[in-house]
Amino acid sequence: MQVVLVMRQLFPFLMASLLIAGPLLAEDADEFVMVPAVIIDADRPAAIEAGSAALAEYVSGLVATMERAEGLPALTLALVQDDALLLSKGFGLADIESGRPVLPDHTLFRIGSVSKTFTWTAVMMLAERGLLDLDVDVNNYLINVQVREAFNAPVTLRDLMHHRAGFEDSMQLFTVADDDPRSLSELLAAHQPKRVFPPGARTIYSNWGSALAAQVVEDVSGLSYGDFLQQEILDPLGMNDTTWTSPRQMDEATRARLATGYKRSQGAFDLQDFMQIGAYWPAGGMASTATDMARWMRLHLNNGELDGVRLLDETTHQAMWTRAFNDRPEAADVAHGFQDRPYRGVRALGHGGGTAAYLTQMVMVPELDLGIFLSYNSAHSTLPFRFMPDLIIDHVVDHRWQPLLAGADEATADALSELAGTYLNNRRVFSSFAAVFGLMGTVTVTAVNDQAIVVSAGGQSTYLQRVTEDVFEGAGGQRWAFVRDDRGRVVALADDWGVHTAERVGWFGHPNTLFIALTLAAFLALTSTLGAWRNYGLGQSGGFASRMAGAGVLVGVAAQALLLAAIIALIISLADFDIGRMPEFYPPAAMLWTHYAGWVVAAVGALMLIAQWPTWSGSGWGLLRRLHFLVFTLATLFLSVMLWHWRIIGAPVV
């Protein structure tokens, strides 16, 4: 799922995100020579045919280059154009140890959140049949789970399909083991996230919301979601090599077809644990082949019809690929579950996905009748995921790379000063301890002149030039858009993927404020310790009031030391963070220790405040010493407020 990519950006501070054929024997690998599967149509003009062959050759070279440059174990790819499979090819080894090659019509790759496109298609099928209304309260269709009331506004299917229901993110989805006996409705009820924005206000990617839509399909159709998927979509489309069975539960023959997942280790590769999500699988648990996904792309590029089988009327499909919220038409957004972004003068629709070891991208360009699917089995590099489809589109539209020349001009930068500032990714937890993991989801916007800004996120900076008043584009074609409130004030920033927004924050909500509070309190604890040591060496013990004040200093120092030790333990425990082990790992004990240590700091801060009376009334301390203790007390209290704000205390530890 895409959540794996986001975690890699948000958690750097944690120091470290069916025709079933028999298994192929390593010694048989020579029988499988991978060549482009170019479809030749005698009725097509020779010029078009030559262009298709050139495109297939370009893509093969591009993948081979990226495979070597990025050190990919294996990659599978399918390219469709003009309602035909233009290219299907496997690169590398599906299993390094056995030497098993990648076969585009045989090797299974986990497609992650691309699975959601099946859910959204199922929703539109039921809507077309009159069984669903996308604009009524989703609770009308749910049997065993209900969305909690908030903002005096219901959540609709259209909200869910555009990731605008306002749900916070949740870590709990990834803590469900594949053998967990709970049904999807039971999990949805147990893990319902808080609604943090009114419906429609912000785009916040939600795995939970997507799984809820699958539950709606199940409750309305009377079939389990898996049965509906199989009987109504996969079987009619002849997608016989697509499955939702988790790797741990696959039969031996199917498991032998799955590309092994890898992670980087010691400059080479090691096995990566499979991500587990149990009954949440509709949100990202499917696996498929490149050729099956080529059929899926052809269905959508042909407005809901494939080889004479129609799943959706053309009008319904056109409605699905229409945005329900058009507040940023010149930038990326969502169209009924499909990521929708303008790129090089065309419209690219699709979805990406990541599941621990696997990264998958599916992009369709209706104007070019072009579909691109790729998946690979080591997530150490996001370069193919992020750029390969765009490079293919560049080739088709004959776009030549045009770098941008930086033009900083302080004299004119004030024209864009209202855009400058710090933004915090809204795809995060707000209501539990896991809120602290959103600390690194910071996006910084800097105005460089009256027509350009620099967006810095995840350790990288991108120079963007103005396209419209609130839309800016980089040399790579990525577009970011600013979101304004009813008063015209800039309040958020929408990214170039279309599924995330970042909220503008002031000094109080800025992550650096927490870091400053921690640093200041730790510094004052250190200087208090040195001062106490000095005074003890000088024999300045004083009377009762002095000892009371001194005790206040010592407990403050002890509390800060305890919190620092807990934070270090948390960082160490998460150093080898592996989303595949979440069910057995999360929450780690160090999260509880940090939580309790935070409460100790808050309680000690109150005691230090009480100790101010003897300090100032009868301790006999000098003015500087008393002021130092006062500042230490205020720093401890402010740190307590920050710990509360970031939900380290005062919230469940999940």
Q: Which residue matches tokens 């995840």?
A: 458
CB 117 within 8 A of CB 213: no
Per-residue pLDDT for 530 more than 90?
Answer: no
CA distances in angstroms from 591 to 55, 176, 502, listed in the order given: 51, 19, 26
In this structure, what DSSP letter does residue 378 have? Answer: B
The pTM of this model reads 0.90
CB of 440 closer than 8 Å to CB of 459: no
Chain segment 452-486, per-residue pLDDT in tens: 999 999 889 999 999 999 999 999 999 999 999 99
Higher-pLDDT residue of 291 and 9 is: 291
State how far the Cα of 292 lies from the Cα of 229, in Å rounded to an integer. Answer: 14
What's the pLDDT score for residue 26?
29
Percent of the chain scoring above 90 in pLDDT: 82
Kindly report the backbone phi and psi dihedral angles of residue 7, in degrees, each rounded to the nearest multiple of 5, phi listed first: -60, -35
Question: Do residues 236 and 309 lie in contact, with contact meaning Cβ atoms separated by under 8 Å?
Answer: yes
For residue 47, the model assigns a pLDDT of 55
**Domain locations in the chain?**
2-111+258-307+342-397, 410-505, 511-645
Q: What is the pLDDT of residue 534?
A: 65
pLDDT beyond 50 at 213? yes
Portion of the chain with pLDDT greater than 70, in percent? 91
- From the number of C-beta atoms within 10 Å of its C-beta (0-12, 13-18, 19+), residue 13 rates as middle
Tell me the mean pLDDT in the region 621-626.
Answer: 90
Extract the tokens encoding 37: 């599967």
307: left (phi over 0), alpha (psi -120 to 50) or beta: left
DSSP 497-512: TSS-EEEEE-TTT-HH
What size, in residues, is the chain? 654
- Lowest-pLDDT range of 2-11, 518-527, 640-649: 2-11
Residue 256 tokens, joined: 């032998």
511 neighbors 442 (Cβ within 8 angstroms): yes
pLDDT surpassing 70 at residue 45: no
Higher pLDDT, 43 or 481: 481
pLDDT at residue 535, as a whole number: 64
Q: Which of 594 and 50 is assigned the larger pLDDT?
A: 594
Output the pLDDT for position 46. Answer: 57
Comparing 233 with 547, which gets the higher pLDDT? 233
Q: What is the pLDDT of residue 574?
A: 87
pLDDT at 155 over 70: yes
Residue 43 has pLDDT above 70, yes or no: no
Q: What is the 3-state secondary structure (H, E, C) of 39-66?
A: CCCCCCCHHHHHHHHHHHHHHHHHHHHH
Kind and range of the H or E element at 189?
helix 184-190
For residue 266, is pLDDT > 80?
Answer: yes
CA-to-CA distance for 423 and 420, rounded, in angstroms? 9
Could you tell me which residues come within 8 angstroms of residue 276 by beta carbon, excluding any fewer than 6 positions away? 174, 176, 177, 178, 246, 248, 580, 582, 583
Grade residue 568 by pLDDT with cuts at 50, 70 and 90. very high
In this prediction, residues 166-183 reach a mean pLDDT of 96
User: What pLDDT was estimated at residue 620?
Assistant: 82
Is the pLDDT at 180 greater than 90? The verdict is yes
According to the model, what pLDDT value does residue 224 have? Answer: 98
Pair 163, 119: CB distance under 8 Å = no
Residue 285, CA distances (Å) to 68, 149, 357 in order: 28, 29, 13
Q: What's the rounded Cα separation, in Å, for the pair 81 and 228?
A: 29
Range with lowest mean pLDDT among 48-62, 387-401, 475-489, 497-511:
48-62
- Tens-digit pLDDT profile for residues 531-546: 777 665 444 555 677 7
Residue 649 has pLDDT above 70, yes or no: yes
Q: Does residue 173 carry a pLDDT above 60?
A: yes
pLDDT at 652 (0 to 100):
96
Q: What is the pLDDT of residue 49?
A: 66
Looking at residue 410, what is its pLDDT?
83
Half-sphere exposure of 533 (CA within 13 A, CB side): 7
pLDDT of residue 48: 56
Nearest alpha-carbon partner for 476 in 401, 371, 374 = 401
Check whether domain 410-505 has CATH 2.40.128, yes or no: yes
Tokens of 493: 């920033």
Q: How far apart are the two ends of the chain, measured CA to CA in Å?
A: 20
Each residue's pLDDT tens digit, 390-421 = 999 999 999 999 999 998 888 899 999 999 99
Instruction: Give the mean pLDDT of 101-126.
Output: 98
- 93 three-class SS: strand
Instruction: Give pLDDT tens digits for 334-362.
Output: 999 999 999 999 999 999 999 999 999 99
Return d(Cα 486, Cα 419) in angstroms, integer: 16
pLDDT of residue 411: 85
Mean pLDDT is lowest, of 19-33, 151-165, 222-236, 443-457, for 19-33
Section 31-58 average pLDDT: 55
Amino acid type, 180: D
Q: Which residues pair with residue 328 across a beta bridge?
A: none
